[in-house]
């Protein structure tokens, strides 16, 4: 074989080697921006993957997911969102409340964003639920503060002062306090607002709650506070404070009662929307979904330890009773 024939052969081999690669479709990438930590949210991340699977996407096979966790530190979210944008992901799933969605929105006006937040219209994330417009859509939860305060009143009818514990770093903190305040006022109750964004501040908040003799506690969902679930449940037990939470994980860990939309159902819907967008749907054309599944979980063992009798009106509606 002469030199010319050798060069032709090598060239043909290089073209053949490159051909399959050129025909392969580049795997799309989803940026997962979470306000919390991976461990506590293992189950709901599985629900997100399930939603993707329903649209034909399987992680590691035909879609990749880049995970970024703020570990409850909201100040980290802007940099994490900017990192995902810099990696040119195809979709961003901003999960864990309003703060991740706002950080993602500030980082990009072109990459589609799917969220799960309270009121996306009020927070300026979308133009309306039916017609989001722009590059954001997702799942919206209802204001359940009136229901939670009503349940606390049924459980602890003697309480005239109730408390709410919020993380001041949460972008939704003011709205949470306002909603609980309005619900408490409607029931003729006074409200004590407590704030905590560190472990020591949680201890201080409970000391204040006990000192002022608050009869019950509303503990809304928050990425940092959720990461301190064991500490919070232990403190309510130690100080004999009846508390109501957003998510079922709290009564499962020994808390009294929870009422809220199914977190796994919401994350599944976010996964479905992310998959639809990868297939070509535009966020502006996907109406914001509202939850249809709500979970009421009661821990009867904890109620007995607190000396409370759970009314039949609550037990009859409970999706799960822990004994």
DSSP code at position 244: E
What angle is formed at CA 54 by the lines to CA 51 and CA 56, rounded to 5 degrees? 115
pLDDT of residue 24: 47
Closest CA to 71 of 113, 41, 102, 112: 41
What does the block give as tokens for 25? 């479709």
Closest CA to 244 of 231, 255, 228: 255
The pLDDT of residue 40 is 66
Q: Domain boundaries in the chain?
A: 29-141+262-293, 145-261+295-322
> Which of 61, 95, 60, 64 minimizes the C-alpha distance to 81?
95
Cβ-contact 136, 120 below 8 angstroms: yes
DSSP 189-220: -EEEEEE-SSHHHHHHHHHHHHHTT--EEEE-
What are the DSSP calls for 42-93, one per residue? HHHHHHHHHHHHHTT--BTTTBEEEEEE-TT-GGGHHHHHHHHHHTT-SEEE
Q: Does the structural domain 29-141+262-293 have CATH classification 3.40.50.10470? A: no
Task: Report whether 265 contacts 278 (CB < 8 A).
Answer: no
73: which 2 tokens?
């530190």
- What is the torsion angle, in degrees rounded to the nearest 10, for the CA atoms of residue 24, residue 286, residue 220 and residue 201? 50
Predicted local distance difference test score (pLDDT) of residue 179: 92
Spatial separation of the C-alpha atoms in residues 104 and 177, rounded to whole Å: 24
**In angstroms, rounded to a whole number, what is the distance separating the alpha carbons of residues 323 and 310?**
12
How distant, in Å, are the alpha carbons of 41, 231, 256, 315 from that of 208?
30, 16, 20, 31
CATH entry 3.30.70.100 includes domain 145-261+295-322 = no
Q: How far apart are the C-alpha atoms of 190 and 10, rounded to whole Å?
A: 83
- What is the distance between the alpha carbons of residues 215 and 207, in angstroms, rounded to a whole number? 13
**Do 145-261+295-322 and 29-141+262-293 have the same topology in CATH?**
yes
Rounded to a whole number of angstroms, the CA Rg of the chain reads 24
At residue 141, the pLDDT reads 80
pLDDT of residue 15: 46
pLDDT of residue 236: 95
The pLDDT profile of the chain, 323 residues, written as one tens digit per residue, is 555 544 444 444 444 444 444 444 589 999 999 998 877 667 788 999 999 999 999 999 999 999 999 998 999 999 999 999 999 999 999 998 889 999 999 999 999 999 998 888 988 899 999 999 999 999 998 778 889 999 999 999 999 999 999 999 998 899 899 999 999 999 999 999 999 999 999 999 999 999 999 999 999 988 899 888 899 999 999 999 999 999 888 999 999 999 998 888 899 999 999 999 999 999 999 999 988 878 999 999 999 999 999 999 999 999 999 98
Exposure string of 129-163, with b = 16+ CB inside 10 Å and e = fewer, is eeebebbbbbbbbebbbebbbbbbbebbeebeebb
């Amino acid at each position: 074989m002469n030199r010319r024939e050798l060069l032709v052969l090598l060239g043909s081999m290089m073209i053949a080697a490159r051909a399959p690669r050129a025909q392969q479709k580049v795997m799309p990438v989803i940026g997962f921006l979470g306000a919390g930590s991976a461990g506590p949210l293992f189950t709901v991340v599985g629900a997100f993957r399930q939603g993707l699977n329903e649209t034909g996407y399987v992680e590691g096979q035909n879609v990749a997911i880049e995970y970024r966790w703020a570990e409850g530190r909201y100040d980290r979210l802007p940099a994490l969102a900017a990192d995902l944008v810099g990696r040119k992901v195809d979709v961003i799933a901003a999960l864990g409340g309003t703060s991740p969605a706002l950080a993602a929105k500030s980082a990009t006006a072109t990459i589609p964003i799917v969220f799960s937040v309270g009121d996306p219209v009020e927070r300026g994330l979308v133009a309306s639920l039916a017609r989001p417009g722009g590059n954001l859509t997702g799942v919206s939860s209802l204001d359940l503060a009136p229901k939670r305060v009503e349940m606390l009143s049924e459980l602890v009818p003697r309480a005239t002062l109730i408390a709410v514990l919020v993380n001041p770093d949460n972008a939704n903190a003011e709205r949470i306090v306002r909603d609980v305040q309005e619900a408490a006022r409607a029931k003729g109750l006074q409200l004590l607002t407590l704030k905590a964004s560190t472990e020591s501040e949680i201890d201080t908040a409970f000391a204040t709650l006990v000192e002022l003799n608050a009869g019950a506690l509303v503990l809304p969902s928050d990425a940092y506070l959720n990461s301190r679930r064991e500490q919070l449940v232990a403190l309510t037990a130690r100080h004999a404070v009846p508390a109501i939470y957003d998510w079922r994980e709290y009564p499962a860990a020994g808390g009294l009662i929870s009422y809220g939309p199914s977190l796994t159902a919401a994350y599944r819907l976010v996964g479905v929307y992310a998959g639809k967008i990868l297939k070509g749907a535009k966020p502006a054309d996907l109406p914001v979904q509202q939850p249809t599944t709500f979970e009421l979980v009661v821990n009867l063992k904890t109620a007995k330890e607190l000396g409370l009798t759970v009314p039949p009106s609550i037990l009859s509606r409970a999706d799960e009773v822990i004994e």
